[in-house]
Structure 1
Amino acid sequence: MSSASLPPTGRAIVKNVLSGDTVVLRARPQGGPPPEKVLSLANLQAPRLGTARDPEKEEPYAYESREFLRQLLVGKEVAYKVEYTTSTNQRDFGVIVLQHPVDGESNVNRLAIKEGWARARAADGKRTATDEQEQLAILEAEASANQKGIFRDTGAAARTVSYDVKDDARAFLEKHKGKPIPAVLEQVRDGSTFRVLLLLPDGTHQYITLMLSGLKAPTYRKGVPNVQDLVEEYGEEAKYFVESRLLQRDIKVVLEGLSSNDNFVGSVQFPAGNIAEALLAEGLAKVVDWNITLVTGGPQRYRAAEQKAKDKKLRLWKTWAGKPRVAGPEPEFDAVVTRVISADTLIVESAATGKERRIQLASIRAPKGPEKKEQPAARDASIKEYGYDFEAKEFLRSRCIGKPVHVVIDYVKPAEGQYEERECATVTQGSKNLAELLVSRGLADIIRHRKDDDNRSSQYDSLLIALDRAQKAQKGIHSPKDAPLHRISDASATVNKAKQFFPFLQRSGTVAGVVDYVSSGSRFRIYVPTQNCTLTLVLGGIRAPKVGRPGEKSEPFGQEALDFVSKRVMQRDVEFSVEGQDKVGGFIGALYITINDERKNVAAMLLEEGLASVHDYSASQSPNSHVLYSAEKGAREAKKGVWKNYTETEEPVQEQKFDESKPLETKDVIVSNIEGGGRLFLQVKGADLNRLEDLMSRFAQHHQSASTGAHQPRNGEYCSAQFSADDQWYRARVKKTNPDKTYQLIYIDYGNSETVPSTRIRPLDPSFSTTHLAPQAIEARLAYLRVPELDQDYGEEAYEYLRDATENRDLVAKIVGKVPGVSSPQALNVILYDKKSLTSAGGESINERVVRDGFGTVERAIVKRLNAEAKTVDKVAAWSKAQKTAGNKTVVERMVDAQEEAKGARTNMWRYGDFTEDDE
């Protein structure tokens, strides 16, 4: 601050407001920080503010009085005049005049009293009151009569304010971290350290010391008791740069961390821009690595701003010569780790170019695996052994895969023998040097360079210190104990090996793992820590384009599919479920990755991008089939990827094929809803159905507190809907939007359908989406049968018969295949059995009972096939009669037998004879 002072009269800019009756004025800058003057408003007195030393001295309305002046004056040019100066403390008193009047008044002294934020000072009794003092007294009386300002409530208490974080600073940070908090910047200590008043949501005020994250301005320390003054070059300029823009302005503070002495670290938001970026761009501050990762929005903008100042050689960078290029155009860059090859080798993707680079950590050597000994011939060759090499690689993977790092190329190791040229670098994550972390934990050794060898890590001394600590503590490879032995089995080495693991994996539901390698868009190598094994997982329900081997051509979009999943799941922590096995030892199932706290199905992600297509047969057997078909439909409509040139055509409905010589998939089910025509909805018993109970409990609680109001969804959209029968909320999907703004819905977990108004619909919260739990109601039809619709003869009777046979019963469904031509992609043809009557030989199915009791007929295609085999209907009847004692009838044959019995006994639908003759 300049030692010069402002003249007693003139024009100035209001720098800040100390209280409701005292301000700090400054001149316009000319070649440096300008002179200042503290001026108190004459003939009035505002309520006193408390201080950190004497907080109890704060009077009611003191803060509001100060706020009135702050919002009125800060940053504005005013006219001022010093009327007198006290002899005891040389305090100047005077008048301030605005350029533009407020409510017809430009005299700030009068405005403060007129609005009730100060009291007029009475004459001291020795002198006659001046005209101005009399005028101020009149204004005070009017403000009091109108109950303005301090006269609103004479019993009001002072504000609740804390000058220190009395509770644990860490707890305060966790409570408010990442949330923009309204604040006023009260003091600028230096260009990157401020005193800030936080205006907390509960109405209380909190003073804190705030250090800007990601940068450090030159030190400005002057007039601190018992501490030597220190003003670094450009320190005063940086301080003024911030003061002129932010001092006593309304800002928002985002708390991001704590410094070593428990000062808060964070960012400042204000309408004119980012003060941290401005300081960096003007060369008034430098980026610091220790907290750059805390910056909201990431460090890229800060580094870019600093680089601009470097390029222009501004202020702090006036002598900057630039670092000589070591390896191409990016000797130093920000990147994201995409793969960990070993404890000393990473693949990173440059944030600037988007290109991948293979980086070796400078001056360190990864630990070796266990020594290979002569293996007995009987030893399982599918088991591999690892030591500290596994622990070191896993340490790096878990710490930095997919995370931002900063890379500084220290040297380039030339190609030698079978080794290619290698870029050796110091890689830091935040303030942590990855190489130093490995060495300090005994998970890597350092390379001993020759004294004249400058090709070494720029942090070589730090590595030596870390090595010394690890050796003294006998950590990792320096331990006298035997190295750990990790024996990892290959569960997909052979078909028989896979069969040993299959029952456990299938029963376990979802299993945690790590993607170790990606072969194609739908084929993955996964490490399963709980089982100490690796396995091959093939995504069920989809087909991804193949990637050609070296020298071969890939299928269209094969490489794109591989790149897409590799970028998202390579070496990431994942979950997977197993549904089946292939013929070479691989497991078929689903893979899930959590991205931004959302659990996503990788197969669905590929389908959404048009980088795969649904495989109908396997999709129909997958519990995620609806998700897969919906994802493919979206990509097809958007013409993404493989659907780029797709033209939708009407596909002919294929006749349902059946082959009873093959074993059928069997599931324990319950019937959740029945419709006419033999259509019904099934819920498969198991872990997902148990999860549905938990979901519905949370669903009900959510809708007790969720906001009300009509929602107008699109066709096909998932939503929450209030079922009219019980007024409870369920997950639903829109089947059709009616002209009268009502909506035809299907409740996806139970199968019920109804039409409701928009007032009974809300958006589906993402935490209850089908990516977290697939729809639990599966549409099905009684296989091989025709059952009358509700509006046909015996339709109502057939519906009631089927309800009696299935309602509240434990059933077993044998799945024949998909129902052709239905709207739901996962609709199944099933043969239903009552679990109580099911025998090892099969027993009588519900399908058969429906036919025998005359409430359904066998499909004509099946009867025609048997007619063709027997040549005539009479021979079919004779053949059927002969089979009754054979004991080896198929399900279809039993149904035909049952139909002949019903026809002969004229049961229900057959009451008036063979009505099917008219259809021939």
Structure 2
Amino acid sequence: MATTAAGNSAWYKAKVKAVTSGDCVVVVSVAANAKSGVLPEKSITLSSLIAPRLARRGGVDEAFAWESREFLRKLCIGREITFRIDYTVPSINREFGTVFLGDKNVAMLVVSQGWAKVREQGQQKGEVSPFLAELLRLEEQAKQEGLGRWSKVPGAAEASIRNLPPSALGDASNFDAMGLLAKSKGVPMEALVEQVRDGSTLRIYLLPEFQFVQVFVAGIQSPQMGRRAAPETVVEPEVTVDSTNGDAPAEPRAPLTSAQRLAVSASAAETSADPFGPDAKFFTEMRVLNRDVRIVLEGVDKFSNLIGSVYYPDGESAKDWPLELVENGFAKYVEWSAHMMEEDAKRKLKSAELEAKKSRLRIWTNYVPPVSNSKAIHDQN
């Protein structure tokens, strides 16, 4: 059952952190009183719209799904918006709302270009955009003009479906990482960041092939995010019967008690994140998640993960995001991957780490310089 919010006229300001499909954005607070660090976020689906669905890993896109997502991503990512929740659907844990970019209604922009269709009425009364009439008018206009998903060009729908190669994550045999290194080492490659695993690890699409790979940033390492430990499989042995005499074993093992089950459950609990792990991840997400970036490949590991430098656009210039992480105390310099880099890049990272240590920024909050064993010259005999 839907819960309508039509009577609630509250509008909020936020910044778009991610665009997950052609009709859904993830936003974070930009309130003046918002605390620093990881900010509250909310997923908003545009009211009364249905965009084509992107493929999950190993699946197939609906026609025009990628173009639909790309239109909304390029329109909104990283920008401040104003939004209001129109209704919620608790059964699917989703909130539907109206989003404005400046004075432009985002849903109207999407529909006018043909990248989503309009749903006149949801399953429950109240599941409707307050701008439904105008959305329907714009949809009809887009259909007449053959825009977006309403294209009248023969074969356009089939051509819009991406041919996704197998993901390199979890199966190194799906990707010739060494071949890519031999061909592209030191050459900037276009990519799109789809996920941020932690502050210094990205999961990206290499474009235009849409090869999905994991990238470790060369020369640095951020605090880890923790992970869920693999659940321990507990086998309760059955009480077997000796076939020779029909007797049970002398000391059969009883089923686990409630206390034992609780202990097993506790052993499989999540491992906690390192200090500043979530902050480093959020710092990275706000700069590169769902952004176009350039990867300069430095090396690969045995699991076909790429190791490289990453740059993202900032106006007319390209920002060195790994250097920003170190400068802000969200990452440390690591030699195991830095040795692949040029000397000037290594020097910048080392210098940035030294300054962060001096200022005791974030991961260096409790940093204590090592005690020197050397003596002043005048004290030496």
- For residue 296 of structure 2, what is the aligned residue in structure 1? 254
Q: Counterparts of 1:23 and 1:125 in 2: how far apart (Å)? A: 22
- For residue 239 of structure 1, what is the aligned residue in structure 2? 281
1:136-151 to 2 correspondences below 5 Å:
136-151=135-150
Closer, same or farther: CA 294–327 of 1 in aligned 2, 3 Å:
farther
**Does the alignment pair 1:90 with 2:93?**
yes
**Does the alignment pair 1:278 with 2:283?**
no
Corresponding pairs, count:
315
RMSD over equivalenced CA pairs, Å: 2.8
Q: Over residues 756-797 of structure 1, what are the superposed CA-to-partner deviations in whole Å (9 max), with x where a residue is unaligned?
A: xxxxxxxxxxxxxxxxxxxxxxxxxxxxxxxxxxxxxxxxxx
**The 10-residue stretch of structure 1 (16-25 or 178-187) with the greater mean CA deviation from structure 2:** 178-187
Identify the match of residue 66 of structure 2 among 42, 63, 68.
63
Closer, same or farther: CA 143–292 of 1 in aligned 2, 3 Å:
same
| Structure 1 gaps, min length 5 | 1-6, 330-413, 415-920
Q: Counterparts of 1:293 and 1:25 in 2: how far apart (Å)? A: 38
Q: Counterparts of 2:285 and 2:306 in 1: how far apart (Å)? A: 20
Identify the match of residue 309 of structure 2 among 246, 257, 267.
267
Q: Counterparts of 2:16 and 2:130 in 1: how far apart (Å)? A: 27
Closer, same or farther: CA 126–39 of 1 in aligned 2, 3 Å:
closer
Q: Secondary structure at the match of 2:336?
A: coil
1:874-885 to 2 correspondences below 5 Å:
none
Q: Counterparts of 2:331 and 2:95 in 1: how far apart (Å)? A: 36
1:38-77 to 2 correspondences below 5 Å:
38-52=43-57, 54-56=58-60, 58-77=61-80
Q: Over residues 265-296 of structure 1, what are the superposed CA-to-partner deviations in whole Å (9 max), with x where a residue is unaligned?
A: 11101234211111112221111111112225
Maintained 8 Å contact 2:176/2:304: no
The residue type equivalent to 2:140 in the other structure is A
What's the offset of the Cα at 1:258? 1.6
**Does the alignment pair 1:189 with 2:189?**
no
- For residue 180 of structure 1, what is the aligned residue in structure 2? 188
Closer, same or farther: CA 8–161 of 1 in aligned 2, 3 Å:
farther
Q: Counterparts of 1:191 and 1:255 in 2: how far apart (Å)? A: 18
Closer, same or farther: CA 124–247 of 1 in aligned 2, 3 Å:
closer
Q: Over residues 116-159 of structure 1, what are the superposed CA-to-partner deviations in whole Å (9 max), with x where a residue is unaligned?
A: 11111133698798873332222112112222222234533302
What's the offset of the Cα at 1:213? 0.6
What's the offset of the Cα at 1:233? 0.8
Q: Counterparts of 1:225 and 1:163 in 2: how far apart (Å)? A: 25
The residue type equivalent to 1:287 in the other structure is Y
Q: Counterparts of 1:217 and 1:189 in 2: how far apart (Å)? A: 11
- For residue 122 of structure 1, what is the aligned residue in structure 2? 120
**Does the alignment pair 1:221 with 2:267?**
no
Q: Secondary structure at the match of 1:65?
A: helix
Q: Counterparts of 2:15 and 2:129 in 1: how far apart (Å)? A: 28
Identify the match of residue 22 of structure 2 among 17, 20, 23.
20
- For residue 312 of structure 1, what is the aligned residue in structure 2? 359
Closer, same or farther: CA 232–260 of 1 in aligned 2, 3 Å:
farther
Give TM-score scaled by structure 2 length: 0.75
Q: Over residues 180-213 of structure 1, what are the superposed CA-to-partner deviations in whole Å (9 max), with x where a residue is unaligned?
A: 111122221111111112213xxx2121111111
Q: Counterparts of 2:38 and 2:62 in 1: how far apart (Å)? A: 34
Closer, same or farther: CA 124–310 of 1 in aligned 2, 3 Å:
closer
Closer, same or farther: CA 224–150 of 1 in aligned 2, 3 Å:
farther
Maintained 8 Å contact 2:175/2:304: no
Q: Counterparts of 2:147 and 2:11 in 1: how far apart (Å)? A: 32
Q: Secondary structure at the match of 1:220?
A: coil
- For residue 156 of structure 1, what is the aligned residue in structure 2? 158
* Percentage of matched positions with identical amino acids: 33
Closer, same or farther: CA 11–328 of 1 in aligned 2, 3 Å:
same
Q: Counterparts of 1:271 and 1:107 in 2: how far apart (Å)? A: 26
Q: Counterparts of 1:127 and 1:238 in 2: how far apart (Å)? A: 43
What's the offset of the Cα at 1:86? 1.3
Q: Secondary structure at the match of 2:62?
A: coil
The residue type equivalent to 1:55 in the other structure is G
**Does the alignment pair 1:210 with 2:218?**
no
Q: Secondary structure at the match of 2:310?
A: strand
Maintained 8 Å contact 1:250/1:270: yes
Closer, same or farther: CA 243–167 of 1 in aligned 2, 3 Å:
closer
Closer, same or farther: CA 12–131 of 1 in aligned 2, 3 Å:
closer
- For residue 334 of structure 2, what is the aligned residue in structure 1? 288
What's the offset of the Cα at 1:260? 4.4
The residue type equivalent to 1:282 in the other structure is N
Closer, same or farther: CA 87–326 of 1 in aligned 2, 3 Å:
closer
- For residue 778 of structure 1, what is the aligned residue in structure 2? none
Q: Counterparts of 1:130 and 1:93 in 2: how far apart (Å)? A: 9
**Does the alignment pair 1:303 with 2:350?**
yes
Identify the match of residue 169 of structure 1 among 170, 177, 185.
177
The residue type equivalent to 1:242 in the other structure is T
1:805-844 to 2 correspondences below 5 Å:
none
Q: Secondary structure at the match of 1:162?
A: coil
Q: Secondary structure at the match of 1:294?
A: coil
| Structure 2 gaps, min length 5 | 1-8, 169-173, 232-267
Q: Secondary structure at the match of 1:161?
A: coil
1:888-903 to 2 correspondences below 5 Å:
none
Maintained 8 Å contact 2:47/2:129: no
Give TM-score scaled by structure 1 length: 0.32
What's the offset of the Cα at 1:8? 7.3
Q: Over residues 476-495 of structure 1, what are the superposed CA-to-partner deviations in whole Å (9 max), with x where a residue is unaligned?
A: xxxxxxxxxxxxxxxxxxxx
Q: Counterparts of 2:347 and 2:99 in 1: how far apart (Å)? A: 45
1:500-899 to 2 correspondences below 5 Å:
none
Q: Counterparts of 2:42 and 2:99 in 1: how far apart (Å)? A: 13
Q: Counterparts of 2:351 and 2:144 in 1: how far apart (Å)? A: 59
Maintained 8 Å contact 2:116/2:149: yes
Q: Counterparts of 2:129 and 2:221 in 1: how far apart (Å)? A: 53
Closer, same or farther: CA 131–314 of 1 in aligned 2, 3 Å:
closer
Higher relative contact order (CA 8 A, sep 6+): 2
Maintained 8 Å contact 2:24/2:43: yes
Q: Counterparts of 1:130 and 1:194 in 2: how far apart (Å)? A: 36
Q: Counterparts of 1:248 and 1:130 in 2: how far apart (Å)? A: 27
- For residue 110 of structure 1, what is the aligned residue in structure 2? 108
Maintained 8 Å contact 2:64/2:157: no
**The 10-residue stretch of structure 1 (206-215 or 140-149) with the greater mean CA deviation from structure 2:** 140-149
Q: Secondary structure at the match of 1:308?
A: helix
Maintained 8 Å contact 2:333/2:353: yes
Q: Over residues 725-763 of structure 1, what are the superposed CA-to-partner deviations in whole Å (9 max), with x where a residue is unaligned?
A: xxxxxxxxxxxxxxxxxxxxxxxxxxxxxxxxxxxxxxx
- For residue 532 of structure 1, what is the aligned residue in structure 2? none
Maintained 8 Å contact 1:123/1:133: no
What's the offset of the Cα at 1:62? 0.8
Closer, same or farther: CA 87–314 of 1 in aligned 2, 3 Å:
closer
Q: Counterparts of 1:36 and 1:283 in 2: how far apart (Å)? A: 23
The residue type equivalent to 1:213 in the other structure is A
Maintained 8 Å contact 1:182/1:250: yes
Closer, same or farther: CA 124–77 of 1 in aligned 2, 3 Å:
closer
Q: Counterparts of 2:165 and 2:193 in 1: how far apart (Å)? A: 15
What's the offset of the Cα at 1:318? 2.7
Q: Secondary structure at the match of 1:269?
A: strand
Q: Secondary structure at the match of 2:339?
A: helix
The residue type equivalent to 2:357 in the other structure is K
The residue type equivalent to 1:323 in the other structure is P
